[in-house]
Amino acid sequence: MKIIPGNIFGFWLFVVASAVIVYVMNLSEKGKLKVTLRPIAGLDALEEAVGRATEMGRPVHFSPGLGDIIGTSAPDTLAALQILSYVTDLSAKYDARLLVTIRMPNVFPLAQELVRTAYSMANKPQSYKEDTVRYVSSDQDAYAAGVIGLMHQEKVASSILAGLYMGEALLIAESGASLGTMQVAITASITQIPFFVAACDYTIIGEELYAAGAYVSGNKARLGAIAGQDCIKLAVMAIIVLGTIVTSLGSNFVQDLLTK
């Protein structure tokens, strides 16, 4: 058994990065490192979005995006589900009606169980209804049409769009904007960020999606992981600067190392 050529650097980077993140996470958990995240307006606005729905007597809509829990979109969907957990807590706290729309069948049972558990933990199991979490369609276009239809029918007060999005992002977000819905978008999908920025009240971009779970929970271990991630980011930045200098001097050392 050996590492596939071309993946050697990647494998060892994975091992080192994992070790650093776990180390910093432990330091944070034991209280030896105090990690504070900068305020993220969009995440603070989640409470406002749920509160608005309560005041208006209308539902809050949540979409965990188009991603699945398998494949490359899994981290985005898992991060979105962590936000869903928080939004369910808020909905239970403020007695707001929550509507969750699901695209991928694999995500459906997970989201259903998550919302049911969150309501039970908030001592409000009766707030969970069979139509709280709704499977719409695994087809991208049909999902967008279903979500837009639901937003119109239920006259949702707030809409939270988290996770991976593709071309239908603007269809959903602009429909929400035309209804006067307060919208918070949380995505790392680079091509869709401009559309969300244009159509939503708050847009949380890039790595903030993955940090959202740690931000809203305040869990020390999770916050430590964000700090560990920043250490790796500094190392990557150093490699970029080093690579630029070394390549400018005519050496292929860094390129050879990365492709080893």
Partner 1 sequence: MRKELPLAITFVVALIALLSGVVQGPIPGLGVSIGDIYGNYIGKWMTVVSAFALCLASVNLILVHGRAVARKRSQDWIYSAILLGTLVVYALFRTYVELNPADEAARANYSLIYDYILSPLMSGQWACLAFYVGSASYRAFRARNLEATVLLVSAIVVMLGAAPIGSLLWDQFPAIQQWLLNVPSMTGQRALLLGAALGSFSTSLRTLLGIERGHLGGM
- For residues 204-223, which are near partner 1 according to CB under 8 A? 205-211, 213, 216-217, 219, 221-222
Segment near partner 1 (CB under 8 A); pick from 12-20, 34-42, 45-53, 243-251:
12-20
CA distances 149 to 101, 152, 155, Å, are: 11, 5, 10
- To partner 1, the closest distance from the beta carbon of 85 in angstroms equals 5
183 binds partner 1 (CB under 8 A): no
Q: Which of 44, 95, 113, 256 binds partner 1 (CB under 8 A)?
A: 113
- To partner 1, the closest distance from the beta carbon of 54 in angstroms equals 20
CA distances 177 to 27, 146, 199, Å, are: 44, 16, 6
Segment near partner 1 (CB under 8 A); pick from 46-54, 55-63, 68-76, 245-253:
68-76
184 binds partner 1 (CB under 8 A): no
Half-sphere exposure of 213 (CA within 13 A, CB side): 17
Structure tokens at 125: 């199991």
CA distances 134 to 27, 112, 137, 226, Å, are: 41, 9, 9, 32
Pick the closest to residue 114 from 191, 178, 74, 62 (CA basis).
Answer: 62
Contacts of 203 (CB under 8 A, 6+ apart): 42, 184, 185, 186, 187, 193, 196, 197
Measured from the CB atom, the residue of 75 and 243 that comes closer to partner 1 is 75
Contacts of 13 (CB under 8 A, 6+ apart): none
Amino acid at 197: V
- To partner 1, the closest distance from the beta carbon of 176 in angstroms equals 11
Segment near partner 1 (CB under 8 A); pick from 11-19, 42-50, 51-59, 245-253:
11-19
105 binds partner 1 (CB under 8 A): yes
Where does 103-211 show beta strands of DSSP type E? 133-135, 158-164, 182-187, 202-205
174 binds partner 1 (CB under 8 A): yes
- To partner 1, the closest distance from the beta carbon of 144 in angstroms equals 7
Q: Which of 62, 143, 165, 195 binds partner 1 (CB under 8 A)?
A: 195
Binding track, positions 128-167, relative to partner 1; x by CB under 8 A = --xx-xxxx-x--x--xx---x---x-------------x
